[in-house]
Structure formats: C-alpha cells, structure tokens
Amino acid sequence: MQQSISIKQEQAQVMVNSFIRSVYNWMAFGLALTGFVAYFVANTESLRNLILGNQLIFFGLIIGELVLVFSISARMSKMKASTATAMFVLYAAMNGATLSVLLLVYTMTSIASTFFICAGTFAACSIFGMVTKRDLTGLGQFMIMGFFGILIATIVNIFIGSHGLHMMISYLGVFIFIGLTAYDTQQLKRMALTQPADLDPGVARKGAILGALKLYLDFILMFQFLLAIFGGSRD
C-alpha cells in the first residue's frame, strides 16, 4: 500500500516537472523572440521609422497585442494547440516591436543590468510559489486588484505628467508583479497536479502556452517597472 502511494507520488511529480518545464521553455522562447525583434527594429532605420515614427501603427500594434492576450486567455479551450501557439508567438513578436522604444530611451548597460535584476527576482518568486505550502489565492486576488489600480493611475498620469506619481506607480508595479509571479507559479503547479495521466498532448500544449503567457506577462511588466526605477536614460 505504501509502495503504491509512493509510486503515485513519483508519477505526479514527473507530470508536474514535465508541465512546468514546458511552460518555462515556451516563456523563455517568447522572451528571446521579443528581445530579438526589439533589437532588430531598434537597429533597422526603416522599421524604426515605420513603427516608432507612426503613431497609428504603433498604437495599432498595442491594440493588437491586447486583442491577442484576451483572445488567448478567453478562448483557449476552443482553440487548436497550433492556433494558440501561433498567437503566442505572434504576440511575443509584436510586443518586441513596440518595446524596441526602450532600447532608444535607456542605455544598453542599464537595460542589461535591470534584466538580470528582474531575472533573479522572478526566479526567486517562482521558486517560492512552487515550494510554499501557503495558499496564495488571497494574495493573488489582492495583487490583481492592485494591478488595475496602477493601470488607472498610469492612464491618469498620462494627462498629469507627474514624475513623482510615475515613480510611485513603478515601485508599486514591481511589488504587485512579485506577488503575481509567486501566485501564478502556484496556480500552474496546481494545474499540473490535477491533470490526468492520459491527458491529450494538444490540451497539455494549450495549458503550457497559457501558463507561459501568464509568466511572460509577469516578467515583461516587472522588467518595465524595474527599468523605470533603475534605467539610465540616453539623454
């Protein structure tokens, strides 16, 4: 009996490890693609002028990104795995195009150092979310509400232009995405533990893509808030 329980626990751990590995592989691919596209656009004059020099195209890309995120999140169960994968890849590429502006605003040294700070913070939060026995559901819900709060504050600050409010939003943003990273990681672990052993590979792929999207967003937004705090301007 005890041996049977031990085997089941080992099988469950293998499933969790396989699923989480797939999530992080797709997240890493998305981040790498975003970085490549951002660098390519920032260093290609024709693309730079087309995307960053035309507000209609720039904001059109941002709207397109939002549509893709909401579509993947809301319609994942109805999509084919290949469609979900293609949409995630497209989103990462489009995000790279719009984030290329950061390479023109901040020095490469500060971007690199901030990236490593973000990566270390993200890894620590993910490990905490994976190993903690504490239920982070309440924390996650609180952080989600906080995110909408800073989103509203950011929109207001577009018209006010307050540097002090901008820095406050940045510090709060880092704090919020530290919490969300731990929460999302714990949710992904729970998702992996509830998957049946004979789960269809396509369904597993869609779950990994959705998980990768969540962690990708946590990382990218945390990075942007950290960059606003530590980034050195080119001016």
- pLDDT category at 235 given cuts 50, 70, 90 is low
The residue-averaged pLDDT of 40-51 equals 91
- Residue 9: the pLDDT is 56
The residue-averaged pLDDT of 54-80 equals 89
Contact 39, 100 (CB under 8 A): yes
Residue 51 has pLDDT above 60, yes or no: yes
Kindly report the number of other CB atoms within 10 A of residue 177's CB atom.
28
| Crossing angle between the packed helical segments 81-105 and 201-230, to the nearest 10 degrees | 10
- Residue 118: the pLDDT is 95
Residues 6+ apart with CB under 8 A from 158: none
pLDDT tens for 193-221 read: 777 666 677 778 888 999 999 999 999 99
Q: How far apart are the first and last CA of the chain?
A: 69
Residue 91 has pLDDT above 60, yes or no: yes
The residue-averaged pLDDT of 130-137 equals 90
- Residue 62: the pLDDT is 92
Q: Is the dihedral of CA 76, 81, 83, 86 positive or negative?
A: positive
